[in-house]
Amino acid sequence: MQHDISTTSAPTPQSVRIIHGALTTGVILYGIVAHFVLLPNHKITGNLDSLAPVLLTIALALCAVSMLLMKRVPRPDEGETAGAFWLRAASPALMTWTPLEAGALLSVTLHAQTGSNAAIVVAAVAVLLMVLLRPGFFESR
């Protein structure tokens, strides 16, 4: 049986939940690996110590950008099904989650390279925002 690759399927509530879960879980798993595997095996040289405040500011700015992009996700119409809602809202929601993931990944990588505890705190803030901005939040607004 051949499948036409050019055909794209419409986003379903289940697929949006899977994507969001994969983004969130991926960051958490990377954080665990970075903390318990990469950090102990890395020789901290201090090369990034001077850049750490700038990189953490960028990560926090990405979280703020995400909060601004959240306004682009439409609210569900009265009586609209979840499937119909996600046809309209999947792209804006993904654009909301992407800066959060980028900020979290930047922070975890900074922690793995420098051992900075502040970086883990910023990553935790980004992950917390990802969890709070789950698909169910957008459906129930």
What's residue 40's pLDDT? 77
Structure tokens at 33: 């690996």
> Is 53 inside a domain boundary?
yes
What's residue 5's pLDDT? 53
What's residue 39's pLDDT? 81
What's residue 78's pLDDT? 94
> Is 6 inside a domain boundary?
no
Number of DSSP helices (H) and strands (E) in the chain, helices first: 6, 0
What's residue 46's pLDDT? 61
Length of the chain: 141
> Is 101 inside a domain boundary?
yes
In order of 31, 32, 33, 75, the CA distances from 93 in angstroms are: 23, 26, 27, 11
> Is 77 inside a domain boundary?
yes
Q: With contact defined as beta carbons under 8 Å apart, do 38 and 47 qualify?
A: no
> Is 5 inside a domain boundary?
no
Report the number of distinct structural domains present in the chain. 1
pLDDT below 70 — which residues of the chain? 1-8, 44-46
> Is 3 inside a domain boundary?
no
What's residue 121's pLDDT? 97
> Is 60 inside a domain boundary?
yes
Domain that residue 50 falls in = 13-140
